[in-house]
Amino acid sequence: MRAVDIVATAIGNSFRSRLRTTLTVIAIFIGAFTLTLTNGLGAGVNNYIDSQIASIGAPDVMNVTKPVVATAETEGPQPYEESGSTEVSSGVGPPGSTVQAMTDDDLDTIRAIDGVRTAAPIVSVRPDYIEYGTEGKFQLTVSPLSAGIRVELAAGTMFDTASSNLQIILPTTFIETLGFTGNDDAVGKTVTIAVTNALGEQTTVDAVVVGVQEPTLFGATPSLNEPLTSTLYDAQNVGIPTGTSSQYGSATVTFAADATEAEVAALKADLVTAGYAGTTVTDQIGTFQSVIDGIILVLNAFAVIALLAAGFGIINTLLMSVQERTREIGLMKAMGMSGGRIFALFSTEAVFIGFLGSTIGAGVAMLVGGIISQVLADGLLADLAGLQILTFTPGAIVTVLLLVMGIAFIAAVLPASRAARQSPIDSLRYE
């Protein structure tokens, strides 16, 4: 019997007892349905978290500060030193840390460290208001856009990093208030931003709106490109004593996007040696993602338990099938069919049942999940723009199918082995 004949025969034999096979398929369906949904939930939540993390920092970006005493990361507090420094903190850095203001010399030192591609100061810009047309002046709080950060755009494009033009990205919450008719209408328009310097003089700067961003979990504030930030910062610092204006709370350092964990750890160690401390976005958000992954893993475990229960159903189905077809097995052996092919026949039957149940389960889960995700996106989760609570990827679906078929094959080992070992003479005499 050829492999094609074995598959065709196995499929046909699966439907000999339709009720029994249907009940087994339903059990597999429940497990596959649950596993597909939990995988979709994990993918949806993690994709949304990744998009939100991208709005505060890229994976190849590190925030660097200058602590009074630079130390490597530890699980607990640092030892107390009797002669410890009492230098005043610059107001930035990890909670409980004391950091010094950084200067241009510090930036040059950081740029010279192996693995550092760029190092730029993070400056604080405090505009007075933003204005467009005749709608009036509105308060403005901005967040500088660090290198590599991405935002979810509702219209327009990201900044042109090669351009020296003054550019701004507005959140959707600003559009109607400023007097634009819609997100697309705002793109390309010029807004006026005012800032007050140390002498109490107010200066206005014009900037072009290049994009409109969706609100994120971390707020909905406009983002400025580097030329606009520098222009506002320089205007704001007019009147400040020379030397004071070139002090920064922290710096943004970029490194190779394909850097391994070991290389990033080495870069952090080199920064510590030079008297600095570096923190990546992964360091800040990694624990949160680990918690989400842990929850999804527990949910997947329940789905796998359901599949294991379905595996016992497959064992029962095939054992009964072997018993009912004892004489048929004896006849096949008497006609020269080997025990290996009989084993393949029954194991293929089990794999087909697993494939049938998992395919139906995954398909229904994708259909139901898509509907639920869309309803939630338009209703309860409407404020979380860009969130698709259930996201199904081809890789995850294929994994579910292969897992279920693997469990089905393992479940078939006992009954298929029993069928393969049967004596043809005893089988033909079976009543």
pLDDT, tens digit, 9 for 90 and up, residues 99-145: 677 888 888 899 999 888 888 887 778 898 999 988 889 988 876 55
Q: How confident is the model at residue 209 (pLDDT cuts 50, 70, 90)?
A: very high
- Please report how many Cα atoms fall inside a 13 Å half-sphere around the Cα of residue 65, on the Cβ side: 19
Question: How many other CB atoms are found less than 10 A from the CB of residue 39?
Answer: 26
Gap between the Cα atoms of 249 and 64, Å rounded? 9
Gap between the Cα atoms of 115 and 248, Å rounded? 22
* Residue 278 phi, psi dihedral angles, 5° rounding: -115, 140
- Is residue 63 within 8 Å of 285, Cβ to Cβ? no
Residue 165: strand pairing partners: none
Name the amino acid, one letter, at 136.
G
- Please report how many Cα atoms fall inside a 13 Å half-sphere around the Cα of residue 427, on the Cβ side: 21
Quick one: pLDDT at residue 183?
A: 92
Percentage above 70 pLDDT, the chain: 81
pTM assigned to the model: 0.57
Gap between the Cα atoms of 90 and 228, Å rounded? 24
Percentage above 90 pLDDT, the chain: 12
- For residue 356, the SS3 value is helix
* Residue 254 phi, psi dihedral angles, 5° rounding: -105, 150
- Is residue 308 within 8 Å of 40, Cβ to Cβ? no
Gap between the Cα atoms of 71 and 369, Å rounded? 48
Quick one: pLDDT at residue 288?
A: 67
Counting every residue written for the chain, the total comes to: 431
Sign of CA dihedral 209, 210, 214, 217: negative
Quick one: pLDDT at residue 84?
A: 43
Quick one: pLDDT at residue 71?
A: 55
- Is residue 35 within 8 Å of 300, Cβ to Cβ? yes
Gap between the Cα atoms of 273 and 238, Å rounded? 36
Instruction: Give CA separation, 15 vs 8, 19, 323, 334, in Å.
Output: 12, 8, 16, 25
Quick one: pLDDT at residue 218?
A: 55
* Mean pLDDT in residue range 92-99: 49
- State CA 362 to chain mean position distance: 22
239 versus 98: the higher-pLDDT residue is: 239
Which of 54-68, 181-195, 285-299, 407-421 reaches the highest mean pLDDT? 181-195
Q: Tens digit of pLDDT for each residue in 141-169?
A: 876 555 455 677 889 988 887 788 999 98
Which of 3-17, 19-33, 181-195, 259-273 reaches the highest mean pLDDT? 181-195
Hey, what are 379's tokens? 């209703």
- State CA 348 to chain mean position distance: 37
- For residue 261, the SS3 value is helix
**Over the chain, what is the mean pLDDT?**
78
- Is residue 70 within 8 Å of 277, Cβ to Cβ? yes
With 90 as the cut, is the pLDDT of residue 364 above it? yes
Residue 279: strand pairing partners: 63
